[in-house]
A and B are shown apart, each in its own frame.
Chain A
Amino acid sequence: MSHSEDKHASILAVDVESYGDVRRTDRHQKVVRDGLYAALRHALGRARVPWGYHEDRGDGLFLLIPDLPKRELVASLPHELAAALREHNADHGPETQMRLRVAIHAGEVGSDDNGKHGRDLNHAFRLLDSQPLRDALADSPGVLALAVSDWFYEHVVKHQPAANPTIYRSCTVRHKETDTKAWICTPDYPNRRASPKPKVRLPKPKLPTLRLPRPRWQAVVLTALLLVAPTTNLLAGANAPDTRCANPVQVNVLTSTEMAPTLRQLALNFERESNQADENGCRQARLLVVADTYLGAVEALSRGWSGRIDLRDHGPEPHVWLPDSTIDLDHVRTKLAKSPGIGATLEPRPGIARSPIVLATPPGMVDSLHPGDQQWISWPTLAQAAVTKAITRPDVSNSSAGMLTTIAYYQHRLGEPQLTPTVMRTDPVALTVHKAEREIPFARGKDSGSLLCAMRDAPGRLAALVSEKAVFDYNRGRPLGSDCSASSQRPEGLVPLYLELDSPIQDYPFVVVRWTDRPEHRQRSQVIDRFYAYLLSPTATTFLRNNGFRDASGQVGRDEGPAPSLPAELMVSPLTAFDQVRDAAELGSQHPRVLFAVDTAPTMGAPFVQGTRVRAATELVRRLLQHFSDADEVGLMTFGGGVRDVVPLGPGQTSALRSAASPDLPLSRNNSDVYNALEAGTDRLRADPSVDGRDVLVMFTDAATAVPSQIDESALKVKVSAQDKRATRLIVVSLQAGGCRVAHLSDLSKATEGTCIDLTSVEEDTAKLTNLVAMGLWG
């Protein structure tokens, strides 16, 4: 800063009424500004007042004029200015017409690198923005309202008959508890008396009362327009009848269930601060914070909020989206890229908070996990521990924490650095995901908070991968999510164990949503900018920390106790196949229904590699069985002569099935009917349609006596491929070379999106068959 230098000058400050009115476009505003400068120059020239120093203020400007006989400012200048404005308005349409507020004062004005400053300059602006001056213009049919300071009135106006001092009336200008006197007039309509202020400020403004007969509307309107146009600012007239305060700008904010309670409070505080900052106490903005689930927000945004029920089920179209993580944003962008023409663009700004995903561990379980420094754990240790310990995680569809954790967990299980669409299409995914979901299942319908809420009722049994914020809330007895109120009984605290590498971290980006089917609402954009700035302010940052979040630099709140610095973050590629990850998790967590059907006709006793056909079949059943648990429904039937249910389909049957398949299944005396067995197997799988899910019929046969020409093949196809509540896939293992083709088993299984393979050897084909079954069930 350079040194300050004070100079005495007359101050003339000018503001255009309703300059920022939403109905003025950028082009309109330019015309208005050009008009303002032209009118001022013209009026100053006519009144012989030099232009002096000036500074532009967007909706107006101020002039500093040293060495000027001050009476010049109030003698002819106001009239010249009014005339110039009327001239301008006569040539322009309503959007580019203008009316002015003018404030005049004099005093010492300093200057430095940042421009002009000083108490007197501030005082002039205060007069300019004051409510009495605004009211005077609003009540005037003219184009100009003028305020002079008490000092200026006492020392200049009062002694100048040319300034017509009697048209000024005194009023009180309030600013931050201090009242100052000012003098106001409307020079071009001097005789209009301002209406007295209502005593109680429950505003009840009236429409202007024009007395008109009741002829046809068009005539009235036209006449009225003609009458009003030359003198009145149409924009002002067009404003809503309430001229005291404009209706606040509506800003709709979409956020997560986790962030919503804190953000609602922050939005209220922001509204309050904005109102206080407004000199007239007018509400500038109204924010509505709506919470949605991960998938709810992602899908509605990806549809451009245009689904028939989006407004109903997801609330108003958001102007700001504050998801828990950048992956939410990447997910929407991936989906938007696939459907061009959806009119939403997303402009992310850096996040306002952080919260890493941690393993919320009951104290009794901590030691068995051997955490480093009692707080660090790795993905391999975690996955290992999950085999024997009960660990869970949030729903992949319900929260960003669920999706982030799923991505991190699958990347570890699959040994892949990224879950691109290519990776998600590979064979091992279905089986690995199913195993992963068996070991650390996700808790359906739960986000971090509601998951811990459920754990609060049965503490000590379960560990969960959740946001650190939820753990802080849990440990402090705060409300957990929207449905779990604060707890008066402080539960035994959960120990957050941090993932030392590839730790998912929620980063809460601030995303401005723009809808391309409508023009930008500039005032709303300004409010959004200010809201963002507010969220990064020290006040808001402290508030976020006190609510369990880390701030953007990773600091935790003072009361949360010692917490390590943010761990090494998991990098999630924006090219991640989010939809496929979610589908894999949903399918992989389903309990399957699998029926093994083994042909036991005499021909199955024929040699195959080193044993017999039936031995190869039985061995494969045993190997496939390893991938199922007692929660899954499995069953075994044989067909030779007739169909026999060796182990009926149902849960908890794996050990029964294992013993039935050991040693090899016995052969029957009669030939088999493979097509009949196919129908019978399908019927058994579909017998209980009450549960959604997928079924697989795994059939082993040599098809030795199958004659496709003797059956109604198309009717059979229709039957096995029918997709009711449960879809059945048929996987056939042919134990005779060419059996798939000859007996038309390839065609039949393809009709169910399944496969038929001609077995080469048990050893060579086990892996292939396992993947086929896994894909059929979870792929």
Chain B
Amino acid sequence: MNKLCCAYLAVVLVATGACATERPDADRVHARGPITFVDGRDNTEGKQLERLVERWNNRRGSKEQVTFVEQSPSSDAHRASLVAAAQDGALPGARGRCNDVITVDAVWTAEFARAGYLLPLNPDEFDIGKFLDVPVQNATVDDTLYAIPARTDAGLLYYRKDLLEQQHKKPPTNWTELAETANELRTIYDIDGYVGQLSRYEGLTVNALEAIWSQGGDLTTNGEITINSPAAKQGVELLARGLRDGWIPRAATGFNEERSRERFQAGKALFMRNWPYIYPIVTGPTSPVAHQVGVTTLPGPSALGGWNLAISPCSQHQETARDFIRFYTDKDEQQQLFAKGGFAPTVRSLYDDPVLRSKFPYLDVLHSSLITARDRVQTPQYDRISDLMQESLHGALDRVEGVPGRLDQLAEDMRAALH
């Protein structure tokens, strides 16, 4: 608890030193009033985030109205928007617009917390014990809680169960099996073998790391950069070979989540790596492959994805902000967001819910993916590292033979970037 005291102290100091605020700090901490809620684009079937905000507004009325502001679906742009707003909000004399409650990607949480963009939170006020452990650890920076897990994410392997059944194949459990099946069936059915997210953005970092982990490699080991270890090279070579041999289409080097989802949903891919939110869409009534979709775990550990809810220091109505976070992470809301929007819940007990389990048979698969999911890397410099990875990997995927050289160079660049 001492750590928490310190964090509170730091925040009050931020406020005294910085913000020209309209209210004394203690007032803001306990004040209620209208707030803004900032999240990424609501891609869910039926706009489930909008619905959630509506439910809140219907209950609370205009005095504690929540205005929902959607950010770009590109997480880089979402991040840039939040950072610029936080930097502007810290200027003396800054007034007006404040992103009271924001959703923060699990990978930026440490950076945002250390930069002073997030208010520390008291775990007791949020019944922190009810959440899954991994996302809570992710939202805890230097022993202080800065955010509440809103939705968690782990990659899943979607597949065409009809085609696998026709060929008497089982869903693959490792990359070798996956490559073999993909190679065999893609010619029979004239479809893509495997699609993932290999465009030059955060998705590429995730896909590459998962391939690296599956071969026993990692980005860092005991604090040392090991992106050029033999195992890591094997991981990247795996993807490069897939592209060379054709079971991953070249076009996938331009795919993000949505592009790969469209491809799969149109019946043009056998395997797809994607997040859980895709499930209700590809199995939805308008999906041409609605009844042919199978889901299993990735052929290796998944990267931990997910989004946390946090409060900006500029917030004038922090009591309402905290209330809204509690509302968002309430068991009922989490259940709705999962059932209708496909967001994997952060509340542990939902994974044992018998009704949910019978309705969503892949809940077990999801749970086991989540508990084995791995954090990408916890450092405030994450975005720099990811930038370097994307830059290097996108080129590395062009030629299998070029992979080792590229990764040696990447390791050197990373060491230089981190001093």
Contact with B along A196-213 (1 / 0, CB 8 A): 000111111111111110
Instruction: Determine which of A221, A313, A317, A524 lies in contact with B9 in the assembled complex, contact meaning CB atoms within 8 Å.
Output: A221
The interface stretch among B78-86, B126-134, B304-312 is B78-86
Q: How far is the CA of A247 from the CA of B379 in the complex (A)?
A: 12
- Min Cβ gap B25→A in Å is 8
- Min Cβ gap B250→A in Å is 8
Point out the residues of chain B lying under 8 angstroms from A95, CB to CB: 17, 92
Instruction: Determine which of B26, B70, B97 lies in contact with A218 in the assembled complex, contact meaning CB atoms within 8 Å.
Output: B26
A–B Cβ pairs within 8 angstroms, 28 of them: A22-B87, A23-B90, A24-B92, A199-B223, A200-B224, A203-B380, A204-B142, A207-B6, A207-B10, A210-B5, A210-B6, A220-B5, A220-B8, A221-B8, A224-B9, A225-B12, A239-B116, A250-B87, A268-B387, A281-B419, A283-B381, A311-B69, A311-B70, A312-B72, A312-B73, A315-B74, A316-B81, A517-B96
Most chain B CB within 10 A, of A224, A283, A315, A319, is at A315
The interface stretch among A40-48, A179-187, A230-238 is A230-238
Residues A240 and B77 in contact in the complex (CB < 8 Å), given A518-B91, A519-B92, A519-B93: no
Residues A94 and B81 in contact in the complex (CB < 8 Å), given A214-B1, A281-B419: no
Q: How far is the CA of A641 from the CA of B227 in the complex (A)?
A: 88
Residues A283 and B384 in contact in the complex (CB < 8 Å), given A208-B6, A241-B142: yes
Instruction: Determine which of A214, A235, A238, A309 lies in contact with B5 in the assembled complex, contact meaning CB atoms within 8 Å.
Output: A214
Is B17 a contact of A235 with CB atoms below 8 Å?
yes
For A174, give the chain B residue with the smallest CB separation. Answer: B419
For B94, give the chain A residue with the smallest CB separation. Answer: A518
Is B12 a contact of A221 with CB atoms below 8 Å?
yes
Contact with B along A440-477 (1 / 0, CB 8 A): 00000000000000000000000000000000000000
Point out the residues of chain B lying under 8 angstroms from A207, CB to CB: 3, 6-7, 10, 142-144
Q: How far is the CA of A601 from the CA of B71 in the complex (A)?
A: 65
Q: How far is the CA of A205 from the CA of B10 in the complex (A)?
A: 14
Which residues 1-53 in B have Cβ within 8 Å of A in the complex? 1-3, 5-10, 12-14, 16-18, 26, 29, 41
Is B10 a contact of A241 with CB atoms below 8 Å?
yes
Contact with B along A511-524 (1 / 0, CB 8 A): 00000011101001
Residue B418, interface by CB 8 Å: yes
Instruction: Determine which of B71, B223, B380 lies in contact with A242 in the assembled complex, contact meaning CB atoms within 8 Å.
Output: B380
- Min Cβ gap A264→B in Å is 9
Q: How far is the CA of A660 from the CA of B74 in the complex (A)?
A: 59
Residue A570, interface by CB 8 Å: no
For B91, give the chain A residue with the smallest CB separation. Answer: A519
Residue A537, interface by CB 8 Å: no
Q: How far is the CA of A212 from the CA of B8 in the complex (A)?
A: 12
Q: How far is the CA of A218 from the CA of B16 in the complex (A)?
A: 13
For B115, give the chain A residue with the smallest CB separation. Answer: A247
Residues A201 and B88 in contact in the complex (CB < 8 Å), given A240-B116, A518-B94: no
- Min Cβ gap A61→B in Å is 24
Residue A339, interface by CB 8 Å: no
Point out the residues of chain B lying under 8 angstroms from A314, CB to CB: 72
Residue B220, interface by CB 8 Å: yes
Point out the residues of chain A lying under 8 angstroms from B419, CB to CB: 201, 281
Is A94 a contact of B94 with CB atoms below 8 Å?
no
- Min Cβ gap A232→B in Å is 10
Nearest 10 A-B pairs (CB), nearest first?
A316-B81, A200-B223, A238-B17, A247-B115, A312-B70, A240-B116, A288-B80, A201-B419, A238-B13, A250-B83
For B19, give the chain A residue with the smallest CB separation. Answer: A23
Is A202 a contact of B418 with CB atoms below 8 Å?
yes
Point out the residues of chain B lying under 8 angstroms from A211, CB to CB: 2
Is B115 a contact of A240 with CB atoms below 8 Å?
yes
Residue A25, interface by CB 8 Å: yes
- Min Cβ gap B20→A in Å is 9
For A287, give the chain B residue with the smallest CB separation. Answer: B80
Is A290 a contact of B6 with CB atoms below 8 Å?
no
Given contacts A238-B16, A268-B387, A290-B77, 18 further A-B pairs with CB under 8 A are: A204-B142, A205-B114, A207-B143, A210-B5, A217-B26, A218-B26, A220-B9, A221-B9, A238-B17, A241-B114, A242-B115, A247-B115, A250-B80, A286-B80, A315-B80, A317-B84, A518-B88, A519-B92
Which residues 5-30 in A have Cβ within 8 Å of B in the complex? 22-25, 28
Residue B202, interface by CB 8 Å: no
Residues A252 and B16 in contact in the complex (CB < 8 Å), given A202-B220, A202-B379, A517-B96: no
Residue B319, interface by CB 8 Å: no
Is B17 a contact of A524 with CB atoms below 8 Å?
no
Is A237 a contact of B13 with CB atoms below 8 Å?
yes
Instruction: Determine which of A199, A242, A268, A316 lies in contact with B72 in the assembled complex, contact meaning CB atoms within 8 Å.
Output: A316
Point out the residues of chain B lying under 8 angstroms from A485, CB to CB: 254
Which residues 107-146 in B have Cβ within 8 Å of A in the complex? 111, 114-116, 142-144
Is B115 a contact of A268 with CB atoms below 8 Å?
no
Is B81 a contact of A315 with CB atoms below 8 Å?
yes
Instruction: Determine which of B1, B6, B91, B417 lies in contact with A209 in the assembled complex, contact meaning CB atoms within 8 Å.
Output: B6
Point out the residues of chain B lying under 8 angstroms from A63, CB to CB: none
Is B16 a contact of A94 with CB atoms below 8 Å?
yes
- Min Cβ gap B249→A in Å is 12
Point out the residues of chain A lying under 8 angstroms from B96, CB to CB: 517-518
Which residues 339-382 in B have Cβ within 8 Å of A in the complex? 377, 379-381
